[in-house]
Structure 1
Amino acid sequence: MRLWTGTTASGLATWALPFVLGLAVLERDLTAAGLGLALAARTAGFLGAVAIGGVLADRHSRRAVVLWSALAAAVSAPLLAAGLGRSLLLMAGAALLAGAGQGACRPAFQALAAEVVEPARRQQANAAMTLAVRASTLMGPSLAALLAAVLDIKALLLGIGALWLVAALVPGRGAKTLPAGADAESRTPQRASFRREFMEGVQEARRHPWFVAGLGALTAVIATGYSATGVALPLISRDRYDTEAVLAAATTAYAVGALAGALVIARWRPRSQGWSALAGLAVYGLAPLSLTLPVHPAVIVAAYTVAGLGIELFNVPWFTATQREIAPDKLARVSSLDFLLSYGLAPLGLALIAPAITTFGAQPVLLTCALICFLAPAAAALAPTARHFTRTPTPPGSPGV
């Protein structure tokens, strides 16, 4: 419960920052250019820290990495409040610090979950954590809007800092997991360089064909389908339907679908877990596909609901399989590789989609993105051991994972 509370607080704080900064733009405390700079700085901080955080979480106590990285993110909140309307440079630096804290936290939390939760209950635990984050995403805008009616933007930023304090102080300690056959004295001699230790995580990832293939598919879907719908959906809602209601309804439907997916996967154990998860990832292609034709808005809403459902049918088994199959002493580094690639290429996709739509038109770009979303998971399903997300194929006749 303590781990769930800390993870939920970090997820809510991560989601809330861009939303609150967006409110600052509406209140004219921040310009649109300033918002873009702050969010870019946060992304840079995340990408710069996630690999380092993975190495540190495997090198030291995962609980300590969560503590110090979340405290760094907490410190960024008053700095953001101090810079709001006064110093864009201070805000950019604070956003960089916030992203670094967030990036270092993610692989550490992922590895800490494997230490705290017994293997038989990890899928339920991962589903519970993603359920909390999706519920926050669904209810957060309304709650933030209500709070904004009685609190100013600086107070909301301090509230984000308080959430990071919860993420820092509440989670359980876990236990440092050593490599097989190692003892406490084996950690004290000379350490390898950060680069070498990170490359050890890369080598560990390559030992699992299902992980490499699945990560490639996930990265492709996020960089194309997710980016395309993030850019195209607002434009289509405005230009084709002449209302913001389609944007709001589709975004809400995605969160509702994800909530449903987390509830389903908390108890569902498909016989071919890997194939089922990759099928869930593939249905995200319905989101960009639904935007290609002048269909009724209900079709778009339905497509986004199914896409949200599918993404959680992938996410939860993916995290659970990673915690089960990856060597415990390299889990944080492999998780950092996961976040680095899947999240790291998303800004590139977002940056390229708009020029592509301008050059080639929305329909061919969206169709291409939908096709990639369908084909990338299908190709990943052909990888050895992908059917069950295990290092060795499950013997014939044995029950699914």
Structure 2
Amino acid sequence: MAIPSAPAAAKSPSPPTRSILRDTAFLRLWAATTASGLATWALPFVLGLAVLHRDLGAAGLGLVLAARTAGFLLAVAVGGVLADRHSRRAVVLWSALAAAVAAPLLAAGLGRSLVLMTAAAALAGAGQGACRPAFQALTAETVTGERRRQANAAMTMAVRSSTLAGPALTALLAAFLDVRVLLLGIGALWLVAALVPAKGAAGPVATARQAGFRAEFMEGIREARRHPWFLAGLAALVAVIALGYSATSVALPLISRDRYGSEWVLAAAMTAYTLGALGGALVVARIRPRSQGWAALAGLAAYGFAPLSLMLPVPAGVVVAAYAVAGIGIELFNVPWFTATQREVAPDKLARVSSLDFLVSYGLAPVGLALIAPAVGYFGVTAVLGVCAALCFLVPAAAALVPTARHFARSAPARD
């Protein structure tokens, strides 16, 4: 017999939120994301080993990597439309399988056919690109609203861990395995990404009256325009990636060699950036500032300390510390950014808006790299770094002034 509850003297506390690490469906999705991240970061390293072994020339390496980038950019928009039109799980399955098929094709072309390798790299990039918006939308389907912040923090930690462990693990395996075997291993990782995630919710059923690709993609753009905070944050992200990140990518190796006389500053700075990002993801999973949008944009602006440290005659330790701060800041932005997008954007348009995010931020990064190098040659590295550092600070600050940017929402959300 049930015992009657006492008169309502005090409201009983709500049960604690179940840890995201105890959610089997999320853990399967996390494992798939980690596998895809390892495969993504390992491929350029393995192809670099092929250059060292003289199975691939430097020009061939550039062509193959460019084809992968082109495949990514073309597929990320298509993947967003498909993931909103059909099952997100099915899009992850088929796009990851495409990347898995590309791996043995790369192995078959290595040392024999640059044309085959270029086509296979484009296929690998297309699989990777189509996966990205589908993974974002599948996370929102798999995890309930109040736990999405933890889920996104865990996802970004998987990406950062892959950045740190992927090349190191590949270098270790390269001591025992042939380059072709390593390429087949990358294909096996993509098979894990394809087959491990649990089944998500079914997407809308395609009908004869369904809008065409262009119309559906434009629908995603219109949805993005409904959220001023999203457009402002995307502009700030582009400024940091296309200018700040591109400038430091060009300048850091030069300054490590010329000012400090050693490559260890380059290695230490990049390691500090990744470790800082891991720490930032841990912090942001537990802390919820009142003005989460402003806090996120402040974190993004912290990347400006990286180019600032490179333009000043400071000890090497200051450069390493600046990169650690930049890494922390980038995840203080990423996790609330992904969480807000999953919360605020209409669920049936989430993949398309996410694809727009990846398309703009990743798509303009090569443009920034292409412009920074000649700018450094013409104006000098110090002037270019100074301008880029200033923009890293100023553009996020301007984005914070946009209506709805304070909370990354139309109104202050009670919970993430």
Q: Is the TM value for this pair above 0.5?
A: yes
Q: Which residue of 1 aligns with 2:366?
A: 347
Is this contact kept in 1: 2:46–2:179, CA < 8 A? yes
1:134 corresponds to which of 137, 142, 160: 160
TM-superposed deviation, 1:295? 1.3
Q: Distance in 1 between matches of 2:212 and 2:414?
A: 43
Q: Distance in 2 between matches of 1:369 and 1:317?
A: 24
Q: Distance in 2 between matches of 1:365 and 1:400?
A: 41
Whether 1:216 aligns to 2:235 is yes
Q: Distance in 2 between matches of 1:176 and 1:58?
A: 10
Q: Deviations over 1:336-378 (max 9, x none)?
A: 0000000000001111111100011000000111111111111
TM-superposed deviation, 1:400? 7.5
One-letter amino acid matched to 2:263: E
TM-score (norm 2): 0.92
Matched residue of 2:201: which SS? coil
1:70-89 equivalences under 5 Å are 70-89=96-115
Q: Distance in 2 between matches of 1:37 and 1:271?
A: 47
Q: Distance in 2 between matches of 1:196 and 1:141?
A: 41
TM-score (norm 1): 0.95
TM-superposed deviation, 1:139? 2.4
Q: Which residue of 1 aligns with 2:47?
A: 21
Any unmatched runs of 5+ in structure 2?
1-26
Deviates more, 1:233-242 or 1:297-306: 233-242
Is this contact kept in 1: 2:146–2:415, CA < 8 A? no
Is this contact kept in 1: 2:83–2:203, CA < 8 A? no
Q: Which residue of 1 aligns with 2:343?
A: 324
Q: Distance in 2 between matches of 1:216 and 1:116?
A: 29
Whether 1:242 aligns to 2:268 is no
Q: Which residue of 1 aligns with 2:213?
A: 194
One-letter amino acid matched to 2:133: P
Q: Which structure has the bigger radius of gyration?
A: 2
The share of aligned pairs that are identical, in percent, is 77
TM-superposed deviation, 1:169? 0.5
Q: Distance in 1 between matches of 2:257 and 2:224?
A: 43
Q: Distance in 1 between matches of 2:276 and 2:356?
A: 27
1:7 corresponds to which of 20, 26, 33: 33
1:294-333 equivalences under 5 Å are 294-333=313-352
TM-superposed deviation, 1:16? 1.0
One-letter amino acid matched to 2:314: V
Deviates more, 1:24-33 or 1:206-215: 24-33
Is this contact kept in 2: 1:237–1:247, CA < 8 A? yes
Is this contact kept in 2: 1:220–1:376, CA < 8 A? yes
TM-superposed deviation, 1:142? 2.2
Q: Which residue of 1 aligns with 2:407?
A: 388
Alpha-carbon RMSD: 1.2
Q: Deviations over 1:290-348 (max 9, x none)?
A: 11022111010000000000000100110010000000000000000000000000001
Provide runs of 4+ in structure 1 moved above 6 Å.
none
Matched residue of 1:345: which SS? helix
1:150 corresponds to which of 165, 172, 176: 176
One-letter amino acid matched to 1:261: G
Q: Distance in 2 between matches of 1:115 and 1:232?
A: 41
One-letter amino acid matched to 2:157: L
1:168-187 equivalences under 5 Å are 168-176=194-202
2:290 corresponds to which of 268, 271, 275: 271
Is this contact kept in 2: 1:84–1:91, CA < 8 A? yes
One-letter amino acid matched to 1:176: A
Q: Distance in 2 between matches of 1:24 and 1:231?
A: 23
TM-superposed deviation, 1:188? 2.6
Any unmatched runs of 5+ in structure 1?
179-183
TM-superposed deviation, 1:177? 5.7
